[in-house]
Structures are given as C-alpha cells and as structure tokens.
Chains A and B, each alone.
Chain A
Amino acid sequence: MKHLLLVDDDPAILDVFGMIFSAPEYNVSVFSNPDAIFTLKTDIPDLIFLDTRLSGADGLEVCRRLKKGSLTRDIPIILISASPGIQQQAREAGAVAGIEKPFSIKELRLLVKTTLNKRGK
C-alpha cells in the first residue's frame, strides 16, 4: 500500500486523482495548503504530486524546500503544471518528473508505477 500525497488547491483535480489512483494498492491523500506538508511527522508519503500554481505559494519553491528537509528529502516528487517547460523546471527543482496539463492518465499511472518501483529497490 503506497501512500500518494497530492498538493493542489483545485478540488476537481483532487477528485480526479482520487479516481485515477483508486486501485487498492494506492492510498491517496490530499492537501490543499502546501504548508501542511512541512508539519508531517508521521505517515510520510511515498510520492508527492505538487501543482506549481498554488494559492499563496510557488510549487517549484515548495519542491526545493521539501528536497532540503531531512524527513522529506527522499520522497519522490512529481510536479504538475500547465506550462510547457515543466519537465526541465521540475528536474532543476529536484523533482523526479514534471507532467504538463492536460495529461494522459495512462502515462501518469505508468510514471507513478515506475517511480515507486525505483524507490522500492
């Protein structure tokens, strides 16, 4: 059972992600406020989806901070954005990948699967 954390302020996206990863091996939790991430002490997620456009915060910046925190440093992060250059930006910010909206759910599932497999090894 893998714990996927989605940080986004768009409730529709949260809903969609819940449906995409509705499979039993996934447990999806959502934060609409990015600051909440830094308060995590237990139940550390296996993967974080981070929208670059958050209300009151920049997703890329949040990503960099997470990559600096000792507890969150090793959590793979996938950035989601409407900007076409997100893949490059994501890599620069320390994320494992960046996906551009709109995306194919097949590809997204594949990406998550490979990311978690790598981490599992």
Chain B
Amino acid sequence: MQEKQFTHEPAISQVILDQYLNNTPTHIPSVPPVIAIAYPAGESAFPSLLLQGPDPDPALAWIIMEYSDGETIDKDQTGARIEAIRQHTRLPVIIAAHDTLVEAGHVYWASQGFSLQFIRRQLIFRAAVTPTKADVGADLFLAALAAGAPRRHAVLLSPGVADRVTSGLQVVRAEGGYSFVVTDDPPFLHRRSGSFLADFILPAAKTATILRSLLPRFSQPGQPLPPPGEPAWNTIQRILLQDKGFDCTPYPRRDLWRCLHRRMGIHGAASLDAYTAILKEDIEELSLLCDELCTTLSGFFLDPATAIALEKDTFPSLLARRQASRPLRIWLPRCIGGQPAYSVAMHLLDYLHTHKATATIQIFATDLDKAAIDRARIGIYDATEIAGISPHRLNRYFIKRPDGYHIHPDIREICVFATQNLLKDPPFSHVDLIIGCSILVGLNNSSLDQAFRRFHYALNPHGFLLPGRMRSKDYPDELFQLQSEQPILFVRRETAMPFEPAYQLQSLRDGEKEADKLLLAGYVPAALLIDEQYKVIRFYGDLEPYLRRSPDRPSLHVLRMVRDDLVFELNELIEQSEKQRRAMKKDGIPLGPDEDAPRLSLEVAPLFSSERKWRLIVIREMPAAAPQGNERPQGRGPSAKDLRILALEDQLNEMRRLLLAANQDAGQVQQALERANEEIMAANEELLCVNEQLQGIKEQLLSFNLELHTANEALHIHNQDLERSAKYAHAVLASLHRPLVVLQEDGRIQTANPSFGRFFDVDAAKMAGRTLFSIGNGVLDREPLRKSLHRLLENKVSSLRLELSTEIPGQGGRILAINAGRMQKVKEGPPGFVLEIEDITQRTIAERFKDDFIGIASHELKSPATTIQAYSQLLYEELANAPGSQPVQLVRKLNGQVSRLTRLTKDLLDVTGISQGLVQLRKEWFDIRALLTGTVEELQVTTPIRLVVEEETTLPAVRADRERIGQVLVNLLSNAIKYAEGTREIIVRAGAAAKSVWVSVQDFGMGMSPDGLKDIFGRFCRLEEPAPNRLPGVGLGLYISSEIVRRHGGEITVTSEKEKGSVFTIHLPIR
C-alpha cells in the first residue's frame, strides 16, 4: 500500500478510506497521465491559453479546475467557459459531474464543488460533500491527484492560485510531478521559482514547449534505478556532502532517485552525468536539490548543520537559561511522519545524558496533515526508515517488534502530536525552541509575516527559531535577531509588536452578546445557546413547537429537550460543525411524519474561543413551496411524494456517509486498542524483565542471608569466647583473697571483687560509681590516702604504696597496706587503676613483737654481760700483778670475747631501735677530723694493716651526732680491716663540698662482684665469700651505718671490684 495521506479534510480522508476499503494498489497503468490546470474564476482565459499550445496527446487527460472563492457559478457562465475551451482543443470537453471517470484523451472542466477520488483503480470525480474555500480545495485536489496517480502529472497554475497552494504542491513534488506557474506578467516572471513551490515560472508560450519535452517522462514513469557504484551518482552524493553537509547515504536509493529524476526532468538532463555537470555549475540548483531532498526525504535525521547548531549552541543556552520548575518546550510546526520530532527528542536526551543534566521536555509536533499526525502518533517504522540510525540510538530509543521498530514509550511520551494550521489555529505559547523544518518555503509575503509573528508570539524571551530553508530577503529582522546563517538560527527579539491572534479578540467578546447579535440579524428566530456539554444556556424566540417534555427528570441537555424528529439531525449537525469548526446548516427537515408537515431549516454555529466551545442552534420554519435542492430539475412542481423520496435519498446518502465515518472512528478506536494492547504487551515485557531482576535479587539476598548466617555463627562463637574470657577474668578476680578494686580515671570505683565486699562488709556488686572514701562509714577516708591517690590520679606518680591504720566495723583497729598502680593499657579500653588492700595487722604486730623481744632480750643480756666483763676485768687486775703467767692470757681472751658479745647485743639493740624509729640523734657541732684521727688511732692498735689518712683539704666543723658518726667510722674501718686481711694498707680520705663533707675508706682486699653490691646496706646482709666462718658477724654494721647516715640527711655509697678492693664513702651535710 502506498497511499499518501496528506489531507486534513473529511473529503480527502474519505478518499483514503475508500482506498483502504477497496484495497487497491496505486500503481495502475490504466490511470492516464494528467495535466491539471488550475485558475481563479476571474481568469477565465487562462486554460485556453495553455490548451492551444501542444498538440493534444491522446494518452493524456486534462483537468481544468476553476476556483471561485465560494461563490457559485451560474449555469450560463459555465456554458460560456466550456464553449471557450472547446474552441482551443480538438479533444472532447466534459463537464465533471459526480462519478465522472477520468480517461485519456479528454478534457474535463470542474468547478470547485468537485474533488477527485481514486476508487477501484480509477480516477473519479466526486461532488464535495460540503463547499470548500478555493485554496483548501485546490490543495485537496492536487493532493488527491498525486495520491491517485503518482509521477504522472503536471500542474499548471495561474499565479492567483499558486499563492494559495502549498501542501498540495509539496505532495505533487514529492511524488515526482512537475508544477508550473504560468503567467505573462513580467514581475512574476522575474521571481525565482523558489518563491513558489513550483518548478517553473514561465510565460504561456514557453510552457507548452517545456511541457512537451517532459511528456516522454510521463509515459515512461518507471525509469530504472542506476546501478550501485555509478560514478555520477557517487559524485552527486559527494557534492551534497561537501558543499551542503547533506549525507544522503542513509536514505533509500529509490527515494533519492525519484527526486534526482525529477530534477533532471526540470533541466532536461538526459543522464545523471549531464545533471551532475549542471549541479557543478549551478549553485542554485544544488540548493534546490538539497532543499527538495530535505523536505521530501523524511528520515530520522536532522540535517547535520542543524544538529550541530542544536548541540553546540541552542541546547546549552536553553538549559542554562531554563527555570528548573518549567519544562523545556520545543515546537515543530511540521510533523511529516513524526521523525523530526523524535529525532530532536533523541538529540536532546543524548545531550542531557552526556552532560548529566535533567530537564522535563515537551515536544509539540503539529501538521496540517492529519494522516501525518496519525502516522507520527503510531510511531512504528520499518527497516528502511530507520536505516542509518546508530545502534546506540536504535537500542536506546526503539523497541524491535515483528511489525517494525517502535519508538520507545519514554520518547513517545515526550512528544505531543496535533493537527494545526500554522496560519489559522492558535499557536503554542512559552516555547523555548521552534524547529521549522523548512515550512516557510513557498509562503507568500503576508503568510510569511503572519508565520513569523506567530513564532514570535509562541517563543519565550531569547527563544530560538530554526526555520530551516528560507530566503535571506525574508529574514524577519524586526522580530528576530539572526544568530547564524548556516544553519539559519534566529533569537527572539523583545519588540513592541505583540501578536494578537484573531481568536483572542473573539474570546474577549461576551458569548451572550455575540449570540444576541447573530439572532438580531435573523429577526430572532427560535434558537438555543448551548455549551460544550450540550447544556442549554439560553433560549431565544418561540421554541414551543420544537421542544418536548420528556417523562423523566428535567434536563437541560439539548438533545433531551428537542423533539424526537430533530434529535438525530441536530446531533449530526453539532458534530459536523465541531469537526469543521464552522457553521453547518441543513434544510428541509420535516417536523413530524405527516407529508404536509412544516419543513425546518436547522443551523448550528460554533462560538468557539480558547476558553469555551459554545454553539448556537437556530431553527427556522421554511416556506412550504421552497425548492429543495440544486439538482432538482426545473419546470414542474414537485409532488410531495417526490419531495419525500428526495429527502429520504438525502438521508440515505447522509446515513451512508455517517456509517463510513463511524467505520473510520471504529478503525481509529481499533487502532487505539491495538496501541493500548501493544503498550500492555510492552508493560508485560517490562514486568517480565522486572521479575527476572527480582529473581536475581532474590538469589543475591539468599546468598547474603547465608553469609549473614555464617557471620552470625562466627559472632556467636566469638561471643561465647568473650563470655568465657569475661567469666574467667571475673573468676580470677573473685578468687583473689585480697580485696581489690578497679578505679576509673576520676577515682570512682569501676569494679570491686568479692573479697573487698567481705572485708568492708559491703555488697561488692553495688560498688560501681562510688568513691573509695565513702565505703563503710569512711574507713578509708584518711588524709594520707587521699593525698597519695590524688597524686596517682594526676599522673604525678605511677604507683602508690602506703600503710594505713584504721578502725573497721566489726574488726576493730586494723593496719592496711594499700598498693595501687595504673592499669596496663587495654586496646580501646578506658584507662584505670588497680588498688589492692592487704590486711597487715597481724604481720605488723608480729614484727613489733619480734623487735620488742630482741630489744628486751638484748637489754636483759647486757646485765649479765656487764657483770661477766667486770669480773673478768677484776680478775685481770688481780692476775696482772703476776705477769707472764698463763691465766693472764686466758683472761685477756675472755675479755675480748665478752667485748664481742656486748658489741653484738649493742648492734641488735641499735637495729631494733632503728626499725622502731626510736633512735634519736643528739646533734652537736664538732671537728670531724679530730673524730676521724681518734678513731683511726684507736683501731690502728688492733691491726697490722697500716691505716693511712690522706687529708685533701681542711674540713669544716659539722653539726651531727658525734657518737653515732664515730660508730659509722668504726664500722667502715672495721669492715675494711676485716675484708682486707693480708693487704698492706687502707687509705682514708676526707674532703669538703659546698654544704657537705665526705669521708671515704678504701681497701685493697677481696672486693665484691656487682651482684654482691646489690643489697649490701640491707639488714642481715653478709658476703658469702670467703667462707663465712672466717669472718664472723651478723652483718648489721653496714645497715646501721647507712641508717645513721641517712637519718642525718646524708648518703653512703660503695664502689667495688672483685679482687681489687672497695671504696665506701659517706657524705654528710654540714648542718
């Protein structure tokens, strides 16, 4: 099927519908080539001018159409016209009537009441159902001609008609036909052919010649396609691409060839080579060819320059200036098959995607041609139509189905398709961009001006207009500023020339006033004003005979108010007037079944504005004897029966037409249903896809679940470990015998162990958060502990250790040893302190008891020792008088041992006193050198080792306990003598520092290892070597010495080396 649907009126729709119904192929050789001549009624000589030229070719059919702007031509004038034509041709001239068949070798004359239809492989004249205006009629006629007989016609137009026909000529051109504007008027002849859509503007004489040269092409329409790879073909493609940026490779070769073949005809070029030569020479021809290709090849391609302009300039600017809340609105006043609109949508979506922008988009694509709109709405394209679309776009914006490539719903939803007459219907508003698709080509000056005003009105400030091809002299400089010329891009100017469409004036009027005005003009006949819901708004005149009261609830619905006889007719008239947007009238409607019933004339006038769709219904009673129709033969009065038959025939015709229309509606409904079905299928597909995805997600969830389960188990085990560890730690803490608390950094208790609770008779579990001092009536609230703990918490010391005497309820006075220290750092755990309490009461008592015991024991020992010593001294005195006797030696030895014994008891007493803090120093000023010298002299007597005193400086007097310091010196010297047995000397040195004096004793005896030095000043410390028996003693000497020096605020030090000797030094402060 190759029907072309370039119509927008019912009559043409019907042509197409007929073709559908008859299922007729369009390439019918039996249809003759047609030369159509169209002229306005005023130029009755025009057809004669043309007919006289060529010898009549019997293969051709001539159709002469006269247009008269709605005025009917009376019979006499018609006869004169026919007669004039007959004088210029030898062919039979036939006046076209309803059902007249177009045949070769005939001339047909038709007034504008007729159109052509292509029915059952034949071209047939049909009476137009409704009278149409000349321009629309001519358009329709030509479109129908082209649809019926492709590539077999030429159209000869008078300039008076040429200005009015645009879409019809486009169809003619698209189908390979030729159009001529024939005039002898010099100004017209100087216009370029591009100002009309016509191919030639010629004087009448020349037209015949050209027409004759073209005739062979008429009879041989099927010129074979040049083979692929033909050099001339490639050359043309290259020229188009290089010079015009037009890539025609994606288009079907057949379509391209049709266009090229036509252009070759215009130039009389016999071959492609010849045409290529013309193309190389003639820049204008190249432009025309390109233009024609652009307008006739409808594909998914904006011409490259336009696409680049959109992406580089227009889109960025629009998006930058756009208000976020407003959608981006684009208007294409030429829809073709929807491809330009979809292309723009794809470009824009790609652009948004690339630039990661978002915008709401509305694309309005309009066309005069309802069929084009329908085609666009369906949005299904076959493989040749989508050829050359990138796989990316095909994948993203199309859905492949068995019946072709469907535009993706996402794109489809953006685009709104509607029939619209650019020059008559209200334009869109708040549009950001208008893409004209060369719609302005062929418009005359006033139409151009009107179109530009409409574009100006429609666009937002700074809105863009891409008009496509147009002549530079037509640039609307006062309304638009030219931004670029390749492609032509305008930006809207802010000017004081607002567009006020006529319909707005209409809308400003009050509907009722308008109605009053109309009624007054007709002497106020019976009339009703109804709104869009068919509700009666107002009654006029005497309506009584035409209304009824229906036995139901009262209603203002007009169809329920009028009499049954009128319901059908009225409804139909209203619908027609709505479709055609003009007043519709029907006469001769009988009111009631009687033959002599009054005949009525019904008229429905639409009062449409942008806001309302009101209608005025006027009912007039017709005079009884009025003639009923034009076709009625004159002469005798019609009988009532005839009239009835005629009326019934009319009704029958009408019914037939309605049936067809209903059929068409049904077809549309079916289409809509099919579309809906497809959408449901698509939705179903999407649901299936979503289901698949959900399945995938479900599996993922299951695997996540499994992982979670595993992780959970691991956590559980870990948790158990932790619990065990915690229990273990708790058990360790609980098992501690000693009371123990863990303190927080602020000193409050974190944990206390059960021993702590038991010890202080409190509940250990409730200790958390309390301070140590609040426990058990403040048993631990003692100043020393407060001070020490404070220092510990302040980090001034790292640990504390103190003994505390306190009264514990139920236990009496206790002595506690308290140890505390900073806890070992735990990763991510809070810092803390561990404080441990030891009850040392028993131990302290035992130690005191021991000290007391030693003290008392040694004290008590002293008395018998004293007595023994005294006796031995007395004995010595007695025996001394008899020298040399053996007993004297014995007594002396006895004396020595007694002295040792007493010294031992003395030492024990000293130690006890020191450990109990009972030693009191009796300080006095004395000469330490004198003490030193005396002591050395005293001890020199007891040993063969030479005691050498080296004096370095004079020593100051010191304030100290003379007796005790003497004791220290004796101790040090005795030790040196004891451990340096066999050496020759012991060196004693003394010296003074700023505030202290020092005395050192150096021996060269056995010395000590570093290990031996460790505890040398401790209690009961004795060197293990040599054999203890050799050097008896309990090892208290150094302890006592160090304690005495310490209590003086001084210091005792030792350095020693094994087998080399030792140096003991004391430092004493001067006071």
Q: B873 near A105 (CB under 8 angstroms)?
A: yes
Q: B910 near A102 (CB under 8 angstroms)?
A: no
Q: A13 near B874 (CB under 8 angstroms)?
A: no
A57 interfacial contact with B, CB 8 Å = no
Within 8 A of A (CB), among B895-910: 898, 902, 906, 909-910
For B918, the closest partner residue in chain A by CB is: A85
Q: B922 near A88 (CB under 8 angstroms)?
A: yes
Residues of B within 8 A of A (CB-CB), count: 21
Q: B863 near A13 (CB under 8 angstroms)?
A: yes
Q: Encode contact with B along A54-88: 1 for CB under 8 Å, 0 otherwise.
A: 00000000000000000000000000001111001
Cβ distance A105 to chain B, nearest Cβ, rounded Å: 5
Q: A19 near B874 (CB under 8 angstroms)?
A: yes
Cβ distance A18 to chain B, nearest Cβ, rounded Å: 11
Cα distance A10–B868 when bound, in Å? 13
Instruction: Select which of B865, B870, B910, B920 is within 8 A of A105 by beta carbon.
Output: B870
Q: A101 near B866 (CB under 8 angstroms)?
A: yes
Cβ distance B853 to chain A, nearest Cβ, rounded Å: 15
Cα distance A101–B873 when bound, in Å? 14
Cα distance A120–B864 when bound, in Å? 33
Q: B862 near A82 (CB under 8 angstroms)?
A: yes
For B906, the closest partner residue in chain A by CB is: A84
Cα distance A76–B866 when bound, in Å? 23
Residues of B within 8 A of A53 (CB): 859
Residues of A within 8 A of B913 (CB): 84
Instruction: Select which of A20, A84, A85, A88 is within 8 A of B870 by beta carbon.
Output: A20
Cα distance A15–B866 when bound, in Å? 12
Instruction: Select which of B866, B909, B920 is within 8 A of A102 by beta carbon.
Output: B866
Cα distance A104–B874 when bound, in Å? 10
Instruction: Select which of B865, B873, B898, B910 is within 8 A of A84 by beta carbon.
Output: B910
Cα distance A41–B920 when bound, in Å? 40
A40 interfacial contact with B, CB 8 Å = no
Q: Encode contact with B along A81-121: 1 for CB under 8 Å, 0 otherwise.
A: 01111001000000000000111111000000000000000
A1 interfacial contact with B, CB 8 Å = no
Q: B863 near A101 (CB under 8 angstroms)?
A: yes
Within 8 A of B (CB), among A7-51: 10, 12-13, 15-16, 19-20
Cα distance A88–B909 when bound, in Å? 17
Within 8 A of A (CB), among B847-890: 859, 862-867, 869-871, 873-874, 877
For B963, the closest partner residue in chain A by CB is: A84
Residues of A within 8 A of B859 (CB): 53, 82-83
Q: B909 near A101 (CB under 8 angstroms)?
A: no
Cβ distance A59 to chain B, nearest Cβ, rounded Å: 13
Residues of A within 8 A of B864 (CB): 12
Residues of A within 8 A of B863 (CB): 10, 12-13, 82, 101
Q: Encode contact with A along B907-938: 1 for CB under 8 Å, 0 otherwise.
A: 00110010000001010000000000000000
Cα distance A83–B869 when bound, in Å? 17
Q: A84 near B922 (CB under 8 angstroms)?
A: no
Q: Which one of A10, A53, A102 has the greatest number of beta carbons of chain B within 10 Å?
A: A102
Q: A84 near B867 (CB under 8 angstroms)?
A: no
Instruction: Select which of B862, B874, B910 is within 8 A of A101 by beta carbon.
Output: B862
Q: A103 near B920 (CB under 8 angstroms)?
A: no
Residues of A within 8 A of B862 (CB): 82, 101-102
Q: In which size bucket is the chain A interface?
A: 10 to 19
Cβ distance A101 to chain B, nearest Cβ, rounded Å: 4
For A51, the closest partner residue in chain B by CB is: B863
Cβ distance A20 to chain B, nearest Cβ, rounded Å: 7
Q: B867 near A16 (CB under 8 angstroms)?
A: yes
Residues of B within 8 A of A104 (CB): 873
Q: Which one of A20, A82, A103 has the greatest number of beta carbons of chain B within 10 Å?
A: A82
For A19, the closest partner residue in chain B by CB is: B874
Residues of A within 8 A of B871 (CB): 16, 19
Q: B873 near A85 (CB under 8 angstroms)?
A: no
Cβ distance A17 to chain B, nearest Cβ, rounded Å: 8
Q: A12 near B867 (CB under 8 angstroms)?
A: yes
Residues of B within 8 A of A83 (CB): 859, 909
Cα distance A102–B861 when bound, in Å? 10
For B873, the closest partner residue in chain A by CB is: A105
Q: A20 near B874 (CB under 8 angstroms)?
A: yes
Cα distance A25–B1015 when bound, in Å? 56
Cα distance A108–B331 when bound, in Å? 142
Cα distance A15–B116 when bound, in Å? 177
For A10, the closest partner residue in chain B by CB is: B863
Q: Encode contact with A along B547-562: 1 for CB under 8 Å, 0 otherwise.
A: 0000000000000000
Residues of A within 8 A of B920 (CB): 85
For B867, the closest partner residue in chain A by CB is: A12
Cα distance A20–B869 when bound, in Å? 12
Residues of A within 8 A of B867 (CB): 10, 12-13, 15-16
Cα distance A20–B877 when bound, in Å? 10
Q: A101 near B865 (CB under 8 angstroms)?
A: yes
Assuming the contacts A82-B859, A84-B910, asked whether A105 and B866 have C-beta atoms less than 8 A apart, the reply is no
Cβ distance B642 to chain A, nearest Cβ, rounded Å: 172
Cα distance A43–B289 when bound, in Å? 172
Assuming the contacts A12-B864, A84-B906, asked whether A102 and B869 have C-beta atoms less than 8 A apart, the reply is yes
Cα distance A39–B859 when bound, in Å? 30
Instruction: Select which of A84, A103, A106 is within 8 A of B909 by beta carbon.
Output: A84
Cα distance A106–B872 when bound, in Å? 12
For A101, the closest partner residue in chain B by CB is: B866
Residues of A within 8 A of B922 (CB): 85, 88
Cβ distance A84 to chain B, nearest Cβ, rounded Å: 7
Instruction: Select which of A16, A20, A88, A102 is within 8 A of B902 by beta carbon.
Output: A102
Cα distance A40–B865 when bound, in Å? 32
Cβ distance A112 to chain B, nearest Cβ, rounded Å: 14
For A12, the closest partner residue in chain B by CB is: B867
Instruction: Select which of A12, A19, A20, A102 is within 8 A of B898 by beta carbon.
Output: A102
Assuming the contacts A10-B863, A82-B862, asked whether A16 and B906 have C-beta atoms less than 8 A apart, the reply is no
Cα distance A64–B563 when bound, in Å? 158
For B898, the closest partner residue in chain A by CB is: A102
Cα distance A19–B874 when bound, in Å? 8
Residues of B within 8 A of A82 (CB): 859, 862-863, 866, 909
Instruction: Select which of A10, A12, A84, A105 is within 8 A of B874 by beta carbon.
Output: A105
Cβ distance B668 to chain A, nearest Cβ, rounded Å: 136
Cα distance A83–B867 when bound, in Å? 16
Residues of A within 8 A of B870 (CB): 16, 19-20, 102-103, 105
For A13, the closest partner residue in chain B by CB is: B867
Cβ distance A33 to chain B, nearest Cβ, rounded Å: 18
Cα distance A93–B721 when bound, in Å? 76
Cβ distance A49 to chain B, nearest Cβ, rounded Å: 13
Cα distance A105–B878 when bound, in Å? 13
Cα distance A116–B902 when bound, in Å? 29
Q: A102 near B874 (CB under 8 angstroms)?
A: no
Cα distance A103–B877 when bound, in Å? 15
Cβ distance A62 to chain B, nearest Cβ, rounded Å: 18
Cβ distance B738 to chain A, nearest Cβ, rounded Å: 40
Residues of A within 8 A of B874 (CB): 16, 19-20, 105
Cα distance A66–B866 when bound, in Å? 26
For A99, the closest partner residue in chain B by CB is: B866
Within 8 A of A (CB), among B432-464: none
Residues of A within 8 A of B898 (CB): 102
Residues of A within 8 A of B865 (CB): 101-102
Cβ distance A11 to chain B, nearest Cβ, rounded Å: 10
Within 8 A of A (CB), among B798-832: none
Taking A83-B859, A102-B898, A106-B873 as known contacts, 5 extra A-B pairs with beta carbons closer than 8 A to each other, sorted by chain A number, are: A82-B859, A82-B863, A82-B909, A102-B865, A104-B873
* 16 A-B interface contacts by CB (under 8 A): A15-B867, A16-B874, A82-B909, A83-B909, A84-B909, A85-B920, A101-B862, A101-B866, A101-B902, A102-B865, A102-B866, A102-B870, A102-B902, A104-B873, A105-B870, A105-B873
Q: What residues of chain A have their CB less than 8 Å away from a CB belonging to chain B? A: 10, 12-13, 15-16, 19-20, 53, 82-85, 88, 101-106
Q: Give 9 closest A-B pairs by Cβ, nearest first.
A: A82-B862, A102-B866, A101-B866, A102-B869, A12-B867, A16-B870, A105-B873, A101-B862, A102-B902
